[in-house]
Structure 1
Amino acid sequence: MKVKTLFLTNRDDASIEYLIGKYREYSDAYLRINSEDLEILNFEVNPTGQVRCFAEGEEYDFSDVKSVVFKRIPTKYNNPIGDENSAYLNNERKHFFEGIYLTLDHAKWVNPMFSTHIAERKIYQLKVASNLGLQIPKSIITNKLHTALSFLDLQSKAIIKPISNGLQVLKDKVYSIYTTEVTAREFRKLNLADTFSTPVFLQECIPNKYDIRVTIVGRSVFAVRISKDSKEVDWRKPDIVKSYQSMALPKSIIDKLLDLTSKFRMVYSAIDLIEMPNGEFIFLEINPVGEWVWLEQELGLNISEKIIQELL
């Protein structure tokens, strides 16, 4: 079977299943590859570029792949408990998948694998956004106690957030670490050394009228105001009751967000902003694999249609 579109992800990615359901209305020439499924997939790779995959009695030929949906760097694999070779074998698998994906350089990627990897670096995001003229919060990333306390002492309100995506995996459980308010007094109570091993990411807490989620697909922009019934700074916490309303952003902001997505060489992005009481917009972060299905379902947005148009 000739594959036209590849969906590259993990088994627990429900949004990809939703998107594939929409994609089937247009074509069945697709293949979903989960990184955990390597043990039930058979591959034949010719270094000149021919790639074939065998799954459930079907042969899939990658020579005609036109588009790729990429959601996850391949890192989740099944290993026997206590296998001392796991780290080496996982690295072999990771390089195997990445090597295959790089041979598909003729295809349109949503989004390119290494563009995704780069765009997830929050420190770099802020620099690029600022260079493009977007307002960003006052921020400090440091592992010096004196620097952290000096920054916190200068803020009327401040937050602490993960430098990475904030996912913590403990055996079979996965937790999200959210953005949280913090004070200099609370930080002192941690009794950290003068220099600590893991830097912290501190920002001023921006006066907030609304949280804004902006979903970009190609040149299409979907902006949504998020209202919440809580004083919590992070609206993503699951116990917070939220409501959503489509909105129109100023053209100057739209142009900068499109430039930002383009700067990272991405087709798709999910961007978080804050709308201040004075009407100004503050950039928080950009997510190359941010979720969007719930917004489509809540507000009837046609995000999936736009993604499929890009793929086809």
Structure 2
Amino acid sequence: MGDRRSVLVLTNPHDVTADVVLRLLLARRVPVVRLDPGADLHTGASLTAMYRSGEQRGRLRTASRELDITRVRSVWVRRPSPYEGPPGLRGQDRRFASEQALWGAGGILASLPGALYVNHPWSNRAAEFKPWQLSAAQGCGFLVPSTVITDHPEEARAFVASHQGGAVYKPLWNTRYRIDGQPHSVWVREVHAVEITEAVSACPHLFQAKVDKAFDARVTAVGDRLFGIRIDSPALDWRHRQDLMTCTPVEVPEPVACAVAAYLAELRLIYGAFDFAVTASGEWYFLECNPNGQWAWQPAETTTAVALALADRLEEGTDS
């Protein structure tokens, strides 16, 4: 078969979600190379690329494989470790090495000729900006809750006070945060105008009208294949208490499916994990789309279906 049929998977060694798809590809005898570039390139792996007029070539060498990087069928950008530089370096030397690795190795792996990316790392990064998500969602036909992003306390208070049905706060990015040395997550929570202080001026904050939802929904998209589940949870943010939620398959309405297709095209994505709040009258409100969201926590039949869809897309590569 040669390495023209190789699938390159960029992820960390502890990514058990990736393992589900890799087992499917191996059962189909599709060659797979797994690489965690932020770590492996400091522990024996090496990457070389050469460019000149009319020619591009290069090799990726790992402990078990050698791969012609111009003959990669597809690249699955899952959960690679960040580029942090060799552990033996400190201070500005390590920072220099980590930035060179990001712009060098990261740039090589993001520009493999003829490869299909699920998703391209630059598309993933761009699609994580919530303001663009909201703007694109509106343009693609989704219902979007009234939202303000501001660093002006009075604007924030006025917005929250104007929504009699309530308003919520959600972070614009899942920043690592610790309290007393322990990891702490900032969940979506209801907010009242009297709680908003001048501290809002420190950075932009996102406030959104609270949707009077009957349930939440997650739609996992792999190209034109959509997998919907209904999430029933007593928590405002179901991620906060996943032990309390129940998940069941749900049909994705045709208008929502059409908007998903438009959104993926607009943001140049193949994979997306869409979250919705669904009202009792059947209105699906777009909340966000994680371009690299987890999916193996869903019901077994949904997890299996998503894994098969990803394996199919990675095996097909650019031939589809």
Question: Same-fold call, TM > 0.5?
Answer: yes
Contact 1:74 / 1:94 at 8 angstroms: preserved in 2?
Answer: no
Query: Hey, what's the Cα distance between the residues in 2 that align with 1:80 and 1:182?
Result: 46
Deviates more, 1:115-124 or 1:2-11: 2-11
AA in 2 matched with 1:59: E
Aligned twin of 2:147:
139
2:123 aligned counterpart, secondary structure: helix
Q: TM-score w.r.t. structure 1 length? A: 0.90
Tell me the equivalent position of 2:246.
243
TM superposition shift of 1:169: 5.5
Which of 146, 154, 163 is matched with 2:172 structurally?
Answer: 163
Give the 5 Å matches for 1:179-194: 179-188=188-197, 191-192=198-199
For residue 85 of structure 1, give the secondary structure of its aligned residue in structure 2: helix
* Partner of residue 210, structure 1: 215
Contact 1:296 1:303 in 2 (8 A): no
Partner of 2:24: 22
Deviation at 1:24, TM superposition (A): 1.2
Q: Which residue of 1 aligns with 2:134?
A: 126
Distance in 2, matches of 1:129 and 1:140, equals: 15
**1:240-265 deviation line (CA, Å, top 9, x unaligned):** 41111111122111111111112111
Candidates 21, 33, 46, aligned match of 1:42: 46
When the two chains are superposed, the root-mean-square deviation of aligned CA atoms in Å is 2.3
The one-letter amino acid paired with 1:2 is: D
Displacement of 1:298 after TM fit? 6.0
Contact 1:296 1:302 (C-alpha < 8 Å) held by counterparts: no
Counterpart residue identity of residue 183, structure 1: H
Matches of 2:312 and 2:31, distance apart in 1: 15
Which secondary structure state, in structure 2, belongs to the residue aligned with residue 302 of structure 1?
A: helix
Cα offsets for 1:19-43 (capped at 9, x unmatched) = 2122211125111111222212122
Q: Which amino acid aligns with 1:124?
A: W
Question: 1:9 maps to what in 2?
Answer: 11
Separation of aligned partners in 1, 2:186 and 2:14: 19
1:69 aligns to 2:73 (yes or no): no
Match of 2:289? 286
Equivalent residue letter for 2:266:
K
Q: Which residue of 2 aligns with 1:154?
A: 162
Compare 128-137 and 1-10 and name the one that shifted more.
1-10
Identical positions, percent: 24
Shift of 1:175: 4.2
Q: Distance in 2 between matches of 1:72 and 1:109?
A: 14
1:201 matched to 2:206? The reply is yes
Shift of 1:61: 2.2
After superposition, the Cα gap between the structure-2 partners of 1:16 and 1:226, relative to the gap in structure 1 and judged at 3 Å, is same
Q: What SS does the aligned partner of 2:157 have?
A: helix
Contact 1:270 1:287 (8 Å CA) reproduced: yes
Following superposition, the deviation at residue 5 of structure 1 comes to 0.5
Q: Once the 2 structures are TM-superposed, how far is the Cα of residue 178 of structure 1 from its aligned partner?
A: 1.7
Is 1:210–1:275's contact at 8 Å kept on the other side of the alignment?
yes
In the other structure, the counterpart of 2:257 is 254
Q: Is the 8 A contact 1:167 1:175 kept in 2?
A: no
- Stretches (4+) displaced over 6 A: none
Classify the secondary structure of the residue corresponding to 1:86: helix
Looking at structure 1, the residues matched to 183 and 30 of structure 2 have their Cα atoms a distance apart, in angstroms, of 33
- Greater shift, 27-36 or 145-154, is seen at 27-36
Structure 1 residue 128: Cα displacement: 0.8
Equivalent-residue separation in structure 1 for 2:162 and 2:186 (angstroms): 25
Q: Write out per-residue CA displacement over residues 98-126 of structure 1, whole angstroms, 9 at most, x where no aligned residue.
A: 22123313111111121111111111111
- 1:168-218 per-residue CA deviation (whole Å, 9 max, x = no partner) reads 165997543221111112223xx52xx723111110111010100001111
Q: Which residue identity does 2:28 align to in structure 1?
A: Y
Deviates more, 1:234-243 or 1:149-158: 234-243
- Cα distance change of structure 1 residues 239 and 285 upon mapping to structure 2, 3 Å threshold: closer
Q: What residue identity is the alignment partner of 1:241?
A: L
Q: Structure 2: which 5+ runs fail to align?
A: 316-320
Which region of structure 1 is more displaced relative to structure 2, 71-80 or 244-253? 71-80
Structure 2 Cα separation of the partners of residues 65 and 296 of structure 1: 32
Aligned residue identity for 2:71:
D
Q: How many residues align?
A: 305
* CA–CA separation in structure 2 for the residues paired with 1:267 and 1:12: 24
Distance 1:168 1:32 in 2: 27
Q: Which amino acid aligns with 1:43?
A: L
Range moving further from structure 2, 120-129 or 168-177: 168-177
In 1, distance between residues paired with 2:98 and 2:178?
18
- The answer to whether the 8 A contact 1:10-1:76 is kept is no
- Listed as ranges, the gaps of 5+ residues in structure 1 are none
Change (3 A) 1:135 1:309: same
